[in-house]
A and B are shown apart, each in its own frame.
Chain A
Amino acid sequence: MSYRRITAAGRLSGVLAVAAVLSVLPFLMSDYHQTEWAYVGVYFIAIFSLNILTGYTGQVSLGHGGFMMIGGYTSAILAVHHGWNIITTIPIAALICFGTGIVIGIPALRLRGILLALATFALAVSMPQIGLKFSHFTGGISGILTGYRPGHWLYPLSWSCAAVVFVLGWLVLRGRTGRAFRAIRDSEVAAVSSGINLALYKTLAFGVSAAFAGVAGSVFVIASNYAEPNNFPVTLSINILVGAAIAGLGSLSGMLFGAIVLEFIPTWSQSAPLIGSKQAPNVIQGLLLILIMLVLRGGFAGLLRRLGGFAARSGASLTDRIPDTS
């Protein structure tokens, strides 16, 4: 009991410290860095959404860019074609993606592991094509311009959404639902035999995860002021999975680092001093990722665990596998 209280307090102080830093950060940064960090917020939400599905429930998804696209287009269509304030479209995007996630989650029940990954990959591949096909609705290749809005609102918007998503997600994960998710991840057979409704919780995980991805997509479109198929390439879905792996699947503490890596590696790798080859940034990007994964098995969450000396004591992660018998 007391052990649990300490870790809970420790976790809370960690979250509050990070939140404090993130709230002070924009006052210390140039406009451009604020924009960059707003995108970090977007990737944070995306990684969290995938983490719920893959890290906590054990369902691999290579299609989260597709959910982001649905969320982003929802916002753009409501704002531009129906005159909504674009901020108010974010919850609608989440709702629509929740529904889409459930719909995709149901057939996905029959698939596991690599097959599920491939099925979700199909979503990532097909979404941009759908955007092109129904051009009266989506603007086709020209997409939907939402318009550039100057000002310092992007960073607060992105991180407010991240905070809301984080708290909601944390509430889901800490309770009964989260336990069911983790039980499914660890062993489906064991989960079923302890009375967990596999179909219900798996589809629920898909729905919640897709809803958060929709929020990420919505903020992404607001930030880039453009819903356009090329903004959601297949590589986006892969990058989110890479980011989640770097962060550390099944743990919340490394997600910020995963998001930072996703946002900054493409820029850093292009600024690396290289002679000649135009493809060099891709190579640098790949090498950096391999390096991170070699040095940091278990992602940044694993590193933090080791730094905190927590791993040595219990071998459990900071946030999950906490004894739940109170």
Chain B
Amino acid sequence: MHKRRKLVAVALVVALAALAAVTAATAGNRTSRIDPGVTSDSILFGDVIPLSGSAAVYGTIASAIQAYFNWYNDTHHGVYGRKVQLKVYDDAYVPAQALQFTQKLVEQDKVFAMLNALGTEPNLAIQGYLKEKGVPNLFLATGASEWGTNHAAYPMQIGYQPDYFSEGKLYGQFIKKKVPQAKLAVFMQGDSYGANMLAGLKAGLGSAASKIVATQSYQITDTDYSGYVAKLKDSGANIFMDFGTPGPTNFALIAAAKFGWHPQAVFINNVGGAPFYFNVLANRNGAGYLLNGAYGMIYFPDPSDPKTKSLPQYAVFQAIMSKYYPKGNLNDAFNWYGMSVADTAIRTLIKAGKNLSRASVVKAADSLNFKSRWLLPGIRVRTGPGHYFPISQMQLARYNGSSWVGLGGLVDARPGQ
């Protein structure tokens, strides 16, 4: 018996050693000179994004990017003959998983760069590792200001969407100019995102920052927001700033309606401004009067808006989706967002040139300047020395009961504008 057990142990050792040797041998097979992930006919990006778990709704962005890449590869023969691909792993919005899959993408799949890695915390989890490995983290999907302001420490990473600070600042500037008698009550999420929005709002108000008469931050654990809203109403404020994710944003509006609060103006941040959620929550629970005429910020056309469907780029969107991502929902704004990220990535690759390297793609991403048809007309994706926020233009908008209608021209939160 003893012998047989020994045999099993020896067999185990041999098997494991063989396995390890094989993997070590394949891992050692690297091409020199050119950066990983680039061959004469391909470019490989990696993406960690939740496809399952609490934030699974965002997962469709990756599929939309893949659809756009496939369409582009078929119609334009790739970028300088290189087909662009995106390898996606589901991190379930767990930062530890994001790091593990990023390590897999970098070391096993040998991606050229990360693209559209989603979420503030997952990106914080991977930034140290990516810096160490010298892998670019391009157009990551979070609105924290961190990605643009911390460029000196992490020069190979760059965000994409307008940052929360800028959005808050634009609201502040608008209110300072238009509502001299303003008294602001702010409802916000009690984390870095909420803090970013509030800091921006104060910066925009400038000398009028004292007009913020009440601030209430909710925790992600909260399920009832009426206590916060009651305090905000009691403060005597005439402007209600609603800075939350879709759920809390809507429930705060519903609570305000329940208390019969009629503020002079309501501001709803972009994160919480999805018409889909308005229709199923606030509108159905008596808060429609607060939504009508509410202010918000937009930066890309909403594909569910009937006006968007008549735009020429909507036909392209529809064609790409129907051929390359038929299961995707045409009304889902995240799919449109995916098109815009993919388009920006392609343009960046073109700008980086034929001799593509990690250094050249970062250089290109740091000096973008173009108009994207996937964003609101006139918005330029622009970066440059000292400015690492690709989209910093937004449009103030008012909600008409079914969709956001742009108000005035584009506004720019870029420093010095």
Listed in ascending order, the chain A residues whose CB lies under 8 Å from chain B are 6, 9-10, 13-14, 17-18, 20-21, 24-25, 28-33, 35-36, 39, 129, 132-133, 135, 140-143, 145, 147-148, 150, 220, 223-226, 228, 230-231, 233, 266-267, 270, 276, 278-279, 281-282, 304, 307-310, 313
Q: Tell whether B315 is near chain A: CB-to-CB under 8 Å.
A: no
User: What number of A-B contacts does a CB cutoff of 8 Å give?
Assistant: 148
**Distance between Cα atoms of A307 and B4 in the complex (Å):** 9
The residue from B6, B59, B93, B96 contacting A13, defined by CB atoms under 8 A apart: B6
Q: Write the chain B residue with the least CB distance to A145.
A: B124
Q: Is the interface of A mostly helix, strand, loop or mixed?
A: helix
Q: Are B8 and A308 in contact (CB under 8 A)?
A: yes
Q: Which of B100, B192, B220 contacts A39 (CB 8 A)?
A: B100
Known contacts A10-B1, A233-B53; 4 additional CB pairs below 8 A are A29-B27, A141-B191, A224-B99, A309-B4
Q: Known interface pairs A143-B121, A228-B121. Does A309 touch B1 (Cβ–Cβ under 8 Å)?
A: yes
Q: Main secondary structure on chain B at its contact with chain A?
A: helix
- Interface size class for chain B? 35 or more
Complex: how many Å from CA A13 to CA B132? 41
| Residues in B lying within 8 Å of A, measured CB to CB | 1-2, 4-6, 8-10, 12-13, 16-17, 20-21, 23-24, 27-28, 51-53, 56, 59, 63, 89-90, 92-97, 99-101, 103-104, 106-108, 120-121, 124-125, 128-129, 131-132, 190-192, 219-221, 327
Query: A32 and B24: CB pair below 8 A?
Result: no
Complex contacts, A147 vs chain B, CB 8 Å:
128
Q: Write out the residue numbers on chain A whose beta carbons fall within 8 Å of the beta carbon of B16.
A: 21, 25
12 CB contacts below 8 A, A to B, read A28-B17, A30-B28, A32-B107, A32-B108, A33-B20, A141-B191, A142-B121, A150-B132, A224-B125, A225-B99, A230-B93, A308-B4
Q: Given A10-B1, A10-B5 in contact, is the A25-B125 Cβ separation under 8 Å?
A: no
On whether the beta carbons of B20 and A231 are closer than 8 Å, the reply is no
- Give the CA-CA distance A312 to B4 in the complex, in Å: 14
Q: Compute how far the CA of A17 lies from the CA of B17 in the bound complex, rounded to whole angstroms.
A: 12
Assuming A21-B13, A141-B191, A220-B96, is B121 touching A230 (CB within 8 A)? yes
For the complex, what is the distance from the CA of A24 to the CA of B95, rounded to whole Å?
Answer: 30
The 6 closest A-B pairs by CB, nearest first: A148-B128, A30-B27, A32-B107, A28-B20, A224-B96, A17-B9
Complex contact B1–A282 (CB within 8 A): no
Tell me, in angstroms, the Cα distance from A44 to B101 when the chains sit together. Answer: 20
Q: Are B100 and A35 in contact (CB under 8 A)?
A: yes
Q: How far is the CB of B165 from chain A (nearest CB, A)?
A: 16
A17 contact set on B, CB distance < 8 A: 9-10, 12-13
Name the CB-closest residue of A to B59: A278
- CB of A312 to closest CB in B, whole Å: 10
Whether A31 pairs with B121 at a CB distance below 8 angstroms is: no
Is B89's CB under 8 angstroms from A270's CB?
A: yes
User: Does B219 contact A133, Cβ atoms closer than 8 Å?
Assistant: yes
List chain A residues, Cβ under 8 A from B20.
25, 28-29, 33
Decide: A226 and B124 in contact? CB cutoff 8 A: yes
In the complex, which of the residues B59, B108, B221 contacts A133, with contact meaning CB atoms closer than 8 Å? B221
* Complex Cα spacing A313 to B5, Å: 14
Q: How far is the CA of A182 from the CA of B360 in the complex (A)?
A: 64
Residue in contact with B96 in the complex, picked from A140, A226, A309, CB distance below 8 Å: A226
A267 with B96: CB separation less than 8 A? no
* Minimal beta-carbon separation of B333 from chain A (angstroms): 18
A228 pairs with B103, CB closer than 8 A: no
Q: Are A228 and B95 in contact (CB under 8 A)?
A: yes
Bound-state CA distance A313–B120 (Å) is 57
Tell me the minimal C-beta distance from A122 to chain B in angstroms. Answer: 15
Closest to A224 in B: B96
- Inter-chain contact B94/A233, CB cutoff 8 Å: yes
User: Nearest chain-A residue to B327 (Cβ)?
Assistant: A276
